[in-house]
Structure 1
Amino acid sequence: MNPIPPAEDHGTLVDRIRQDLLDGYDEELELEIEDRHYTADGHDPVRSDDERSARMSYFKSLFHLQGELVKLQDWVQATGQKVVILFEGRDAAGKGGVIKRITQRLNPRVCRTVALPAPNDREKTQWYFQRYVSHLPAAGEMVLFDRSWYNRAGVERVMGFCSEDEVEEFFRSVPEFERMLVRSGIKLIKYWFSITDDEQHLRFLSRIHDPLKQWKLSPMDLESRRRWEDYTKVKEDMLERTHIPEAPWWVVQAVDKKRARLNCIHHLLEQFDYHEIVKPPVVLPARERHEDYHREPVPAEMIVPEVY
């Protein structure tokens, strides 16, 4: 794709970038907003009535699904389930966004995210799956891999970080590795986030023009943009050769980021026959008071200045 859009499309592209930037700011607002605090007629002058209505609908659906995720978490912990969820897709496909929404209201001791860096010199000499095994869950845990062992079938293959012989060995090994995980009692779910060529182009432009997101663009990301077709070929090969009954791939249509998050979470919940765990009522104990207790004042030099 030509990185410079035709002049007649410039206005449309600018508007789409604006919308993408707004979506990015929404991602941060969602960390604080509760449905009981948000109103559709709030201070949001840059959105139309339809956009505000759609945003309100999105938040309501998100908060409902997150409530169900809390129930799932409690069930996983109470019944000793072991859950592994893989999130794969092109750069800027939205994997991190949905992971953030899944873990946002969960206990990090029960549900944790693993995002491994490139292997170091020692790890490069190990069995390929070895560094992932140490992060697998114990009973009562959920582990979300933000990229996984499928790096070998994707970025490592495209960028020449491994040989074709190593790729073929990966394809021979990974079905058996995953079947072994499933036989051990692990529930393994694999998601591929699918976006179009045009949408990735737009999201990269948005990152370039947003100083809060420029750090997300690495030289590897830029190179992946150039090699779109190479990534398409290896992705198709990967899905075909590793889609097994014990651990099938699920493709999330991710051009619309908000719909993708809701659809993925809804589908994830459907993979479990979970139920709400009844807990005893929480009773706040009375605070003990002792006549000989005196609170010492905090020295003024230790106080953080109240700038705001």
Structure 2
Amino acid sequence: MAGTDDVPVPQDYKLDLLRKKYLLQTHAEGADEAVLRYDIEYQITAHDAGALYAHVCKELQWEESAGRLVGLQAAAAAKLSGLDAAVAAAEETEGEMELRAALVAKADAAGGDWERRNKLKVYEAVEAMATRRFDVAAKLLLDCIATFSATEVMSYEQCVFYTVLTAVLTLDRPSLKAKVISSPEVLSVIDTIPHLSSFLNALHDCKYAEFFRAFSGLLESVRTDPYLHPHYRFFMREVRAKAYSQFLESYKSVTLDSMARAFGVSSEFIDEELANFIVRGQVAARIDRVAGVVQTTRPDAKNGLYQQTIKRGDAVLSRMQNLSKIIDVD
């Protein structure tokens, strides 16, 4: 691989050490073990790689020098301290380019490759979506969206699409506002993706009829997506359940007619839909069909703490009773 101006990129020293360590472990024919050991120790010292020194000593069954390990760790800490000082100075007195250069220098000394790590998060997010771990996918996508470069996996617009959908499923309302709605990266492209902006903002703004319309427009994109298609029905249910739960958070009770108007659907639809979610335990409410009212069943914080204390007390008493059967207290 060539670097800037076609200058070859040098091999990472850790890969060179891996090859030499392998030669020592296998006692490869023609390998000069004394030279190999010298080269390994020299590179470890040159890079102040204390953790690597401990690892190599364990792998090759070398006697570890405590003094040398402490010296390597101290040198690495001093180098990191200097890099931290450079970053702080750049933040105070330099521009964005200088700050970025200082941060990159610090990441390189930590052995980091931002681009590869960023791409790895995209790959892991795809795997998480495919296995229905949308909370994991949302976290990974939010972490990498600002420096997204994995265009071999998806376009930037697709990355924003997945970020919004997984975040809506898994983040609470304040987090959704802070991490997604106000994100410059999301704002830069969200209007180019049909229905996505209305889907996101209408939910946060409690405009539920608009939210349902936008959601309906997005469903075809979800249904035909290779990663989300297997979870199409699950996604439909979870998003609707979240919208109903958010709506009901503001009420102790509300009429079915009022809720139906808020969502732009019929009272019969809301009645049947809510009943299904209540049975599944996805919405904390009950329906009084005679009065035509939906009542929330969320316990308040004090009552919840009381119930938790009662359960723990019962568990302790049960354990004591079991122990009393075993221990002769006489």
Is TM-score (shorter-chain normalized) higher than 0.5? no
Per the normalisation by structure 1, the TM-score is 0.23
What TM-score do you get using the length of structure 2 for normalisation?
Answer: 0.22
Larger relative contact order (CA 8 Å, sep ≥ 6): 1
Structure with higher strand content: 1
Greater helix fraction, Structure 1 or Structure 2: 2
| Larger-Rg structure | 2
